[in-house]
Chains A and B, each alone.
Chain A
């Protein structure tokens, strides 16, 4: 069965530190990849998505993610985090069918 793994359940960083959140999926075919974010007290919302083309995808608020097909990975990065990036981040994968599978999420806490 397809699955999505997010390596870190909790990450604590200081402001201005660089961020990389890992995401790996298990599926050998064509995939569509997403990162969603949930800020405290807000709805889940899309951060960025990839379905074809340049494997380096840029999203909102300075986030980017790189699709590495050979590693089945879609890691999320930001060069310098801010206190306002404190949130829970979910990686999600759609394998071309109807269902989108979400990872368990990573809680990021940024210290001011």
Chain B
């Protein structure tokens, strides 16, 4: 069964350092999502791509976070500089193109970030 791949699974960094997370969606999925999940809360959408275009990044802290999906396939989320409050689980999900708002999202295992 096809899965969403994410790496690394765990990342420990010091504040003010740069970190990057990678996501490879299920083949053929046009929509890719990056979520942040703080302990005890539900996933919060950071950015959503349709192919290579950003369709929603309203909750992305753009002074320090950036995301790209250059060829409309895999994606990278970067934080520079990292802050203590960025410690969280970063989830990637993908879904098909048709009727996006009704499509099932398939989640990867996540990257757990700890900023010291």
Interface residues of A (CB under 8 A from B): 4, 9, 32, 34, 36, 43-46, 49, 51, 90, 92, 94, 96-105
Q: Which candidate, B17-25, B75-83, B96-104, is the interface stretch facing chain A? A: B96-104
Among candidates B44, B91, B101, residue contacting A94 with C-beta atoms closer than 8 Å? B101
Q: Is the CB of B100 within 8 A of A103?
A: no
A-B residue pairs in contact (CB < 8 Å), sample of 7? A32-B101, A43-B4, A44-B43, A45-B107, A90-B42, A102-B43, A104-B41
Does B48 sit within 8 A of A, measured CB to CB?
yes
Q: Is the CB of B43 within 8 A of A43?
A: no
Question: Which residues of the partner chain B approach A101 to less than 8 Å between Cβ atoms?
Answer: 45
Q: Is the CB of A46 within 8 A of B101?
A: no
**A98 and B104 contact, Cβ closer than 8 Å, known pairs A104-B41, A105-B41:** no
Q: Is the CB of A98 within 8 A of B48?
A: yes
Q: Is the CB of B102 within 8 A of A99?
A: no
Which of B93, B106, B107 gathers the greatest number of chain A CB atoms within 10 Å? B107
Interface size on B, residues (CB 8 A): 24
Question: Which residues of the partner chain B approach A45 to less than 8 Å between Cβ atoms?
Answer: 106-107
With CB as the reference atom, state the residue of chain B lying closest to A50: B102
Does B70 sit within 8 A of A, measured CB to CB?
no
Q: Is the CB of A32 within 8 A of B44?
A: no
Among candidates B41, B45, B108, residue contacting A99 with C-beta atoms closer than 8 Å? B45
Q: Is the CB of B55 within 8 A of A43?
A: no
Q: Is the CB of B91 within 8 A of A46?
A: no
Give the docked Cα–Cα distance between A91 and B58 (Å).
Answer: 21
Give the docked Cα–Cα distance between A102 and B110 (Å).
Answer: 16
Question: Which residues of the partner chain B approach A105 to less than 8 Å between Cβ atoms?
Answer: 40-42
Given contacts A9-B40, A44-B91, 20 further A-B contacts (CB under 8 A): A43-B3, A43-B4, A43-B107, A43-B108, A43-B109, A44-B93, A44-B107, A45-B106, A51-B102, A92-B42, A94-B101, A98-B56, A99-B56, A99-B58, A100-B45, A100-B105, A101-B45, A103-B42, A104-B42, A105-B41
